[in-house]
Every structure is written in structure tokens, then in C-alpha cells.
Amino acid sequence: MELENKVIVTAALTGAMTPKELNPSIPLTPEEIAQDAYNCWKAGAAVVHLHMRDDKGIGTMDKEKFKKTVDLIKQRTDCDVVINCTTSGDNRANYEDRMAHLPYVKPEMASFDAGSFNWMPFGIFDNAPQFLEPLGLKMKELGIKPELEIFDSGFMNIVNYYVKKEVLETPCHYQFVLGVGGGMEASVKNLQFLCDMLPKNATWSAFGLGKQHLAIMYAALALGGHIRVGLEDNVYYSKGKLGTNVEFVERAVRVIKEFGKEPATPDEARQILGIKKK
């Protein structure tokens, strides 16, 4: 019962595409990302979602970048934040490269983008069955909790398929991604629709891109979910005011408390998500 009052705050720190020119606070180097991860943990985030950037600031799946960043976070011996690594940080990468960091870094969580679609106007966001099945099995082998990223309602059926094939283990954790061009629009109605498709005992989180991030955050709280914030999803704190990752986390923590709940600690997040601490 105690955990029912806890809300997990995930901080998505940088993403794969947004340039520093849009917001100087976007972390790009392993040092910057690790520092932001630590600061967000101190502000109340239980999970940090990590992308890597190459030396030109472009998204990369370089396993050495992941290793360096994760090592820098873990060097902070007081920091027990849950580390969640992307598997889709570079659309140019082949399927093997998108998984190579998992056995190398062994994060507690990793993203499982449950389908493909036209990510407008950039191109195809490729998550073919030939990638998803080996990815799910690799996570299962390594004991990594999949974060099932849902961009559209059909992705829920793809998850069901892999659950039936025992590629994915239940209870699953879903991350509803709303507002991407080519995916479901960021609206409370759409979030409710996705929630109605959830299987029993599933956990879920949600976020809206850009100006809809607040509406989805408030709706996720009202519907009993967890929330994600950060510069990967939104560069503005409010109209005309650029934000920082820490500011987004601090606001999420305030909103959770004003709602009558409490932000989950990393260990509480592990209990909620069924993650064994490594």
C-alpha cells in the first residue's frame, strides 16, 4: 500500500537530436550528462534516461560513450539512481550496434521501442521484428528491465505478441510517448485511450513533447501513472523561458507533492518496477 502513493520521476537528459543551439543547457558530453544525472537525482528523479552524443553533438550508440557516462555516474558513491539506456540513439546504427552497449554497461533498464513509424519529417524510425525479438531476448538474458516505448496504440498489440512469445516478461512497464510527428498526438483523450489498453498489474509512465508536456504530466498523475520530464522532450520550461533538466525535475516533484503523493526514491522505483538492485 505504501508504494501506491509513490510516483517515479524519470529525467530524460539529452535525446539524440536536439542541438545545444536550441537550449545551451542540453548536456552533450559524458561529463555533462553524468553531472546532470547526479543533479537530477539530488532534485528527486529516481530514473535517468540516457542517450549519447558524438563529438559533433549527433546521437550515437557508441558503447564507450555509454560506459564512460555510466562510470562517471557510479563514481558518485552516494548516488543510487536507476540508469535507463536507450537502444535507439542513432537511426544510422545497425541492429547489433544498438544492442552492443547492453552487455558492456549492463544498465538496470533500457528502452524497447515497440514498433516502427514515419517520424516526421526525418524518416523511418526503424524497430523491425528482426530487431525487437533479439533485443527483448538479450534484455531477458541480462536481467535488464525493458521500458516499452509506445508511440501509437498499435504498439500495444506488438507488446502483447512478444509477451505471448515469452520474449517479454510480465508485468511490463510502458512509457507512453505522445506528440511525435507520425505518432499519437499529445492529448489527455489519447492518454486515457492507451491506459484503457493496459493489462492488469502493468506499470506505466507518460510524457508529451513540447508545449503539451504539462497537460500530459498532470493527466498522468490523475490517472495513476508515473511521469517523465527533461530536455530530450522539451526545451522550454514555460512560454519563452528555456528550462534545465533540474528545473523540470524540481517542478515535477512539487506537482507530485501538491497532488498528495510523494516522489519515489530509486529503491522504491526498483520495487515498483520489479528491478533487482545490481
In this predicted structure, the answer to whether residue 83 has a pLDDT above a threshold of 60 is yes
In this prediction, residue 2 carries a pLDDT of 82
In this predicted structure, the answer to whether residue 167 has a pLDDT above a threshold of 80 is yes
The pLDDT > 90 percentage for the chain reads 96
Tell me the per-residue pLDDT of 217-269, one tens digit each, with 9 for 90 and over. Answer: 999 999 999 999 999 999 999 999 999 999 999 999 999 999 999 999 999 99
Q: What is the mean pLDDT of residues 120-135?
A: 96
In this prediction, residue 77 carries a pLDDT of 93
In this prediction, residue 277 carries a pLDDT of 77
Rounded Cα distance between 108 and 81, Å, is 10
Indicate yes or no: pTM above 0.95: yes
What is the pLDDT of the chain when averaged over all its residues?
97
Tell me the per-residue pLDDT of 16-46, one tens digit each, with 9 for 90 and over. Answer: 999 999 999 999 999 999 999 999 999 999 9
What's the CATH number of domain 2-273, 3.30.930.10, 1.20.140.10, 1.20.1250.40, 3.20.20.70?
Answer: 3.20.20.70
In this predicted structure, the answer to whether residue 1 has a pLDDT above a threshold of 60 is no
Rounded Cα distance between 67 and 69, Å, is 5
Name the DSSP letter for residue 5: G
In this prediction, residue 144 carries a pLDDT of 98
Is residue 37 within 8 A of residue 50, CB to CB? The reply is yes
Tell me the per-residue pLDDT of 88-100, one tens digit each, with 9 for 90 and over. Answer: 999 889 999 999 9
In this predicted structure, the answer to whether residue 168 has a pLDDT above a threshold of 90 is yes
User: Which three-class secondary structure string do you get for the chain?
Assistant: CHHHHEECEEEECCCCCCCCCCCCCCCCCHHHHHHHHHHHHHHCCCEEEECEECCCCCEECCHHHHHHHHHHHHCCCCCCCEEEECCCCCCCCCHHHHHCHHHHHCCCEEEEECCCEEECCCEEECCCHHHHHHHHHHHHHHCCEEEEEECCCHHHHHHHHHHHCCCCCCCCEEEEEECCCCCCCCCHHHHHHHHCCCCCCCEEEEEECHHHHHHHHHHHHHCCCEEEECCCCCCEEECCEECCHHHHHHHHHHHHHHCCCEECCHHHHHHHHCCCCC
